[in-house]
Structure 1
């Protein structure tokens, strides 16, 4: 079955380049020119993934991302941000707003397709049916549901995957490099900051005090370890 991917970019040649290569790899692609078109389109048809340019006319990619992540029906749609900017702050801001990945123009088409495949592969994996509870948290791996004090916690796909892999390796130190490989599905070069951003976001949602976390512990210079908090 073809998986529908939305490409949102105001540059026609970029849209056509991405569409040509994704279609060649078996995906169904819809190209849109701006953020308003994107939000209108996905209200009627939920895509499998969105490739979203940051520098869009009118509503920029950041605002589009925020709108998608605030919609309960769409919040789990994987988003790859596309930007011509190389500044670290632009990449971090996109991740903070809920983007799953980013790629900077000019980009290798081969790398873009690899990232799309990796993200879709992770999104399509059937989770374990196990439900586990500890402290004030309950996690249902099958339903991708997290409850804190019996209230649902809104997590992005990547945040849930991070929590899942940390819980299933409870007590074991997970390096940033391993987390990148296991969750993002390809090798970043020196971009372990991606993990730190997602961990910080996750802590704010599940910890009572994200500055003094009980569950997700930092192992300085190495990575993270999950503690049941008992």
Structure 2
């Protein structure tokens, strides 16, 4: 079945025949794919373009597919990774699992099955992207849920765990009025805390991030205003 929402795929494969075969089947299925023969070229493209999926041969020139896939996830945490190998071994499969590679498959599997695996991986890629990264264009903030990093104007900001959770709550609910009881339930698990605790955390967020989007609503709570 051909895809209607095209996904960007990078294939790193040093076997000319297999790379040509992958080119044909991915194009036939409606995917937009870049195919290269070396890990160095793969790294170059990963730095230039955001891909939804990396498909890599296990044994490459300078670094192997598992190291390449790990680097790819560091560049783009929402990217899916698939290792294909003509020589599957338990030891390398274990390495793939330990490095959080999404799939490790033998090239001996038939192409319709490999394509089905690719389809399943990509069907969850967009959801994962939304879960991993939250942004405020108004304040030029990007937060990575997976790595617990927050950047303001491309500079990393150090937040406490509760400040991080509070910012996440705001960015997931832009332009929504959040009452104090809801904030307490989401961040402190419904514990009995005084209102002053919320106010202090909000003040700290404002100071650390130098933001003006957090509006106080008297007698109610707070709202993140996003233009």
**1:177-228 per-position Cα deviation (integer Å, ceiling 9, x unaligned):** xxxxxxxxxxxxxxxxxxxxxxxxxxxxxxxxxxxxxxxxxxxxxxxxxxxx
Q: Residue 66 in 1 paired to residue 77 in 2? A: no
Q: Residue 81 in 1 paired to residue 92 in 2? A: no
Greater helix proportion: 2
- Pick from 99, 102, 106: which aligns with 1:104? 106
Deviation at 1:149, TM superposition (A): 6.5
Hey, what's the Cα distance between the residues in 2 that align with 1:79 and 1:94?
10
Secondary structure at the counterpart of residue 85 of structure 1: coil
How many corresponding residue pairs?
137
Extract unaligned runs of 5+ from structure 2.
132-142, 149-158, 165-227
Deviation at 1:127, TM superposition (A): 9.0
Hey, what's the Cα distance between the residues in 1 that align with 2:37 and 2:128?
33
Q: TM-score, normalised by structure 2?
A: 0.54
- Pick from 134, 158, 161: which aligns with 1:150? 161
Change (3 A) 1:126 1:12: closer
- Pick from 25, 31, 34: which aligns with 1:27? 31
**1:140-187 per-position Cα deviation (integer Å, ceiling 9, x unaligned):** xxx8725596197xxxxxxxxxxxxxxxxxxxxxxxxxxxxxxxxxxx
Deviation at 1:95, TM superposition (A): 2.1
Hey, what's the Cα distance between the residues in 2 that align with 1:110 and 1:38?
25
- Pick from 61, 64, 70: which aligns with 1:57? 61
Contact 2:11 2:54 in 1 (8 A): yes
Contact 2:11 2:34 in 1 (8 A): yes
- Pick from 28, 38, 41: which aligns with 1:37? 41
Residues 186-197 of structure 1 aligned to structure 2 (within 5 Å): none
Change (3 A) 1:118 1:96: same
Hey, what's the Cα distance between the residues in 2 that align with 1:98 and 1:119?
14
Using CA pairs under 8 Å that are at least 6 residues apart, name the structure with larger relative contact order, 1 or 2: 1
Hey, what's the Cα distance between the residues in 1 that align with 2:9 and 2:129?
22
Hey, what's the Cα distance between the residues in 2 that align with 1:97 and 1:27?
26
Hey, what's the Cα distance between the residues in 1 that align with 2:145 and 2:47?
22
Deviation at 1:2, TM superposition (A): 2.2
